[in-house]
């Protein structure tokens, strides 16, 4: 009898077709868009092109997964573009100019981004600054350091072997794609199957109530910035390896794309709501749109316009649909 009642009380609570559609809207749109392009555009359905899309989406997806955590807790990290520049230029500097081994340079730049993440977190959580301002300030300071270090010039001449990171293949599958999926799966398990993972959603949903429920809200709040910085560093290393050169302006245009992807993926800007695989789909979606525009010969400035319109549309929908 009790068993039966328990089953009854744990039955899945389906919100009907409407809630299904709003939950999976991005996936449905993505499938629809890809299907239409597959049918109508021969250049698009070329397997080479398809692999290219996923490969190009992979590093930006990794960075977006980092930003996802910050937005999940109701904050925002504007410093990622400067972190990308920092990782790129210092990594190249360590390896090319100072002759450090690649593994050591990797560790050092990852540690540097951890420190940047901690600073972002401390300013926001302990210093109680609005994250938008805190990370914007950090971004500018980092940009300054990047420029001071490099004089603004790119540092080229990274070893050929490092190329594997961004352009290598395992069998027929590009290495970045594997990396993206491995990271996504780990983060998926982390966010859905662990108590720390659930704490992120709790803190984003209601900071005070989470604190009073015994969650270490400060730790969680700072940790998201560190996760974001580290994932950004991994993405930045991938982007650097494609050209084998360090460049301080590598990430300058990426912040906008990353924000678009996170929001496209169904992450609420108010915090507390979102999915890792939503972010992955968001990244693929945006990349498909870029790809189509390139194939159709649309000029870059127009691509910015289109992406801007997409972001506005998604945020408008997000802000105006009541979720409960």
| Least distance in angstroms from the C-beta of 211 to another protein | 6
**Of residues 160 and 195, the one with the C-beta less far from another protein:** 195
Quick one: which of 1, 4, 9, 17 contacts another protein (CB under 8 A)? Answer: 9
Quick one: which of 50, 93, 141, 273 contacts another protein (CB under 8 A)? Answer: 273
Please, are residues 248 and 153 in contact by the beta-carbon 8 Å criterion? no
| Least distance in angstroms from the C-beta of 215 to another protein | 7
What is the 8-class DSSP label of residue 271?
A: S
Task: Rule CB under 8 A: say whether 319 interacts with another protein.
Answer: no
- Which tokens belong to 135? 């990370």
- Which tokens belong to 23? 């939950």
**Binding segment (CB under 8 A) for another protein, from list 128-136, 151-159, 162-170, 211-219:** 211-219
**Of residues 44 and 201, the one with the C-beta less far from another protein:** 201
| Least distance in angstroms from the C-beta of 324 to another protein | 5
Please, are residues 274 and 55 in contact by the beta-carbon 8 Å criterion? no
Distance CA 62, CA 284 (A): 12
What is the 8-class DSSP label of residue 245?
A: E
Distance CA 100, CA 108 (A): 10
Q: Is 155 helix (H, G, I), strand (E, B) or coil?
A: strand
Task: Rule CB under 8 A: say whether 162 interacts with another protein.
Answer: no
| Least distance in angstroms from the C-beta of 186 to another protein | 12
List CB contacts of 120: < 8 A, sequence separation 6 or more. Answer: 77, 79, 131, 134, 135, 138, 225, 228, 229
Residue 115 zone, left/alpha/beta (φ > 0; ψ -120 to 50; rest): alpha
Distance CA 217, CA 223 (A): 10
| Least distance in angstroms from the C-beta of 279 to another protein | 19
CA distance from start to end of the chain: 32
**Binding segment (CB under 8 A) for another protein, from list 4-12, 61-69, 154-162, 179-187:** 4-12
Quick one: which of 52, 163, 206, 243 contacts another protein (CB under 8 A)? Answer: 206
Task: Rule CB under 8 A: say whether 215 interacts with another protein.
Answer: yes
Please, are residues 311 and 59 in contact by the beta-carbon 8 Å criterion? no
Q: Enumerate residues 10-39 that contact another protein by CB under 8 A.
A: 10-13
Dihedral of CA 171/176/179/181: which sign? negative
**Binding segment (CB under 8 A) for another protein, from list 6-14, 70-78, 86-94, 231-239:** 6-14
Q: Enumerate residues 166-205 that contact another protein by CB under 8 A.
A: 189, 193-195, 198, 201-202, 205
**Binding segment (CB under 8 A) for another protein, from list 9-17, 162-170, 279-287, 297-305:** 9-17
**Of residues 21 and 296, the one with the C-beta less far from another protein:** 21
Determine the length of the chain.
Answer: 324
Q: How many residues lie near another protein (CB under 8 A)? A: 29
Angstrom distances, CA of residue 36 to CA of 42, 90, 292: 11, 43, 11
**Of residues 120 and 210, the one with the C-beta less far from another protein:** 210
Q: Which residues bind another protein (CB under 8 A)?
A: 5-6, 9-13, 189, 193-195, 198, 201-202, 205-206, 208-216, 272-273, 323-324
């Amino acid at each position: 009898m009790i068993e039966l009642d328990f089953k009854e009380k744990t039955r899945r609570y389906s919100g009907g077709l409407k809630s299904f559609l709003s939950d999976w809207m991005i996936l449905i749109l993505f499938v629809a868009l890809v299907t239409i392009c597959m049918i109508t555009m021969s250049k698009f359905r070329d397997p080479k092109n398809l692999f290219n899309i996923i490969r190009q989406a992979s590093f930006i997806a990794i960075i977006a997964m980092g930003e996802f955590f910050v937005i999940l807790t109701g904050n925002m990290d504007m410093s990622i573009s400067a972190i990308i520049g920092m990782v790129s230029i210092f990594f190249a500097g360590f390896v090319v100019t100072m002759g450090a081994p690649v593994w050591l340079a990797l560790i050092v730049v990852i540690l540097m981004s951890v420190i940047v993440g901690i600073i972002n977190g401390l300013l926001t959580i302990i210093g109680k600054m609005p994250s938008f301002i805190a990370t914007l300030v950090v971004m500018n300071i980092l940009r300054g350091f990047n420029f001071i270090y490099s004089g603004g010039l790119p540092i080229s001449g990274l070893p050929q072997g490092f190329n594997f990171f961004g352009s290598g293949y395992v069998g027929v599958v590009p290495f970045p794609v594997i990396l993206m999926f491995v990271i996504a799966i780990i983060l998926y398990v982390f966010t859905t199957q662990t108590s720390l993972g659930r704490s992120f959603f709790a803190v984003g949903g209601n900071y005070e109530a989470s604190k009073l429920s015994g969650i270490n809200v400060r730790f969680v709040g700072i940790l998201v910035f560190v996760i974001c910085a580290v994932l950004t560093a991994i993405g930045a290393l991938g982007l650097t390896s494609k050209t084998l050169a360090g460049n301080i302006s590598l990430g300058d245009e990426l912040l906008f794309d990353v924000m678009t992807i996170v929001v496209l993926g169904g992450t609420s800007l108010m915090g507390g709501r979102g999915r890792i695989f939503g972010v992955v789909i968001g990244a693929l979606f945006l990349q498909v749109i870029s790809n189509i525009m390139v194939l159709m010969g649309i000029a870059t400035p127009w691509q910015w316009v289109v992406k801007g319109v997409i972001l506005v549309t998604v945020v408008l929908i997000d802000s105006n649909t009541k979720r409960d």
